[in-house]
């Protein structure tokens, strides 16, 4: 019997299944990475809570880079195709993955979605994960960059409460900065918490609705892209 929850499944068996699941995911993630490398595409895993503004950030990014970058998007949600429809409405190809009861995307789901996207026609593939600050941190999707989108409406202490997620991030986007005058959010304290968890993460402050900070976010993406594409790989 499991000591943690009283179920009849031995704890050792639970660990074994979990380890096999993550091992299978790592194998699929490596396969995705090969696809991205072959097509010279930068993949960005976009994570964050429901309502943080992930889709709005993508809409703003696509609009701001139109004619400069070719962007494709994989959308993850438990239900509906609403976010994929929003992305297509601003001019980018998008595939929706409906996870049902699943609280995150895994590498196999991303691989299946890639079968329906033309990577040769993309510079960036953004993978908008299911809204969740826990499970997505555990699952490698084959991405180059991990970005966590959080918002001023969520409170100052999110980096402390969800440390593994923020620790895994290459870039942390603090969205909805237009709400700072209206919500009890301590920006210096938030930055201190984040630096204590992940001193190396790049930080962008944005408002996807007003456009504030979007240019700086795009500069960060461009810098990351340059660092991940070797000179021999960069498109002419």
Does any domain span residue 217? yes
Closest to 202 measured CA to CA, from 191, 215, 187, 212: 191
> Per-residue pLDDT averaged across 100-108, rounded?
97
Domain count, the chain: 1
Going by pLDDT thresholds of 50, 70 and 90, the confidence category of residue 21 is: confident
Does any domain span residue 44? yes
DSSP strand pairing (42-48 vs 145-151): parallel
pLDDT value of residue 228: 87
Cα 231 from Cα 234, distance rounded (Å):
5
Buried b (16+ CB within 10 A) or exposed e, 88-120: bebebbbbbbebeeeebbbbbbbbebbeebebe
pLDDT value of residue 229: 83
Going by pLDDT thresholds of 50, 70 and 90, the confidence category of residue 182 is: very high
Tell if the pTM clears 0.85, that is, is over it. yes
Within 38-144, strands assigned E span 42-48, 71-77, 94-98, 124-128
Does any domain span residue 77? yes
Which CATH number is 116's domain given? 3.40.50.300
Does any domain span residue 3? no
Q: Is the pLDDT of residue 213 over 60?
A: yes
Does any domain span residue 170? yes
Does any domain span residue 200? yes
Neighbour count for residue 122 (Cβ, 10 Å): 22
Q: Is the pLDDT of residue 86 over 70?
A: yes
pLDDT value of residue 133: 97
Cα 85 from Cα 73, distance rounded (Å):
11
Neighbour count for residue 193 (Cβ, 10 Å): 19
Does any domain span residue 179? yes
Domain carrying residue 15: 11-228
pLDDT value of residue 156: 98
CA dihedral (40, 115, 58, 50) positive or negative: negative
pLDDT value of residue 234: 42
**H or E segment and range at residue 143:** none
**H or E segment and range at residue 99:** none
């Amino acid at each position: 019997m499991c000591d943690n929850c009283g179920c009849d499944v031995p704890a050792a068996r639970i660990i074994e299944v979990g380890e096999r699941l993550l091992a299978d995911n790592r194998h699929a993630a490596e396969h995705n990475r090969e696809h991205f490398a072959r097509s010279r595409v930068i993949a960005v895993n976009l994570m964050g809570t429901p309502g943080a503004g992930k889709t709005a950030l993508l809409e703003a990014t696509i609009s701001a880079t139109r004619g400069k970058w070719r962007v494709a998007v994989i959308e993850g949600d438990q239900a509906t195709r609403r976010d994929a429809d929003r992305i297509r409405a601003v001019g980018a190809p998008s595939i929706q993955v409906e996870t049902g009861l699943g609280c995150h995307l895994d590498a196999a789901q991303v691989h299946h979605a890639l079968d329906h996207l033309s990577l040769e026609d993309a510079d960036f593939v953004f993978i908008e994960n299911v809204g969740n600050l826990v499970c997505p941190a555990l699952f490698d999707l084959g991405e180059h960059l991990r970005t966590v989108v959080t918002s001023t409406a969520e409170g100052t202490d999110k980096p402390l409460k969800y440390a593994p997620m923020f620790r895994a991030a290459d870039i942390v986007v603090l969205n909805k900065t237009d709400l700072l005058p209206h919500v009890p959010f301590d920006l210096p304290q938030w930055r201190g918490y984040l630096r204590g968890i992940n001193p190396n993460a790049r930080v962008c402050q944005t408002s996807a609705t007003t456009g504030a900070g979007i240019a700086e976010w795009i500069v960060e993406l461009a810098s990351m892209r340059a660092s991940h594409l070797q000179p021999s790989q960069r498109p002419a």
